[in-house]
Amino acid sequence: MVRSSDEEFGIRPEPDRLPGPDFVRLDESKKATSRLHLDLGPDDQDAEAARLGPHGAKRVDIGRGEQSWVVMADPEGDEFCGLGRFSARIRRFVAAVPR
């Protein structure tokens, strides 16, 4: 486990290697869907969204305007994001990991 702060931590195969899940504490509760939200970094965001569609995933708009990621939901309504590139938060986290 790699910890970056009291509010966020991640798990990596090695401290400086991705992929690995990040866990972020949220103050609000979400009652409509699962509290687990995955941010995935596919090589080709549009191709991956198109590939997941026939398996029941759908794009959902959460009202944030233009973003570099696509918010999708699985057939049960659980949301996840397909990142267009690593977000600044993820880049900062990876850069802060001791080598």
pLDDT at 15: 72
Provide the 3-class DSSP secondary structure of residue 80.
strand
Q: Is residue 13 assigned to a domain?
A: yes
Q: pTM for this structure? A: 0.53
Which pLDDT score, from 0 to 100, does residue 93 have?
59
Q: Which domain holds residue 86?
A: 2-24+38-96
Inside any domain, residue 33: no
Can you tell me the distance from the alpha carbon of 37 to that of 95, in angstroms, rounded to the nearest whole number? 22
Tell which residue, 35, 25, 20, has the closest CA to residue 10: 20
For residue 63, what is the domain's CATH number?
3.30.920
Question: Does residue 31 lie in a domain region?
Answer: no
pLDDT digits (tens, 9 = 90+) for 24-40: 776 666 566 566 778 87
Cis? peptide before 19, omega within 30° of 0? yes
Higher pLDDT, residue 3 or 9: 9
Residue 90 buriedness (CB in 10 A; 0-12 / 13-18 / 19+): middle
- Find the distance separating the first CA and the last CA of the chain, reported in whole Å: 13
Residue 32 inside a domain? The answer is no
As for how many domains the chain has, the answer is 1
Distance, CA of 22 to CA of 10 (rounded, Å): 4
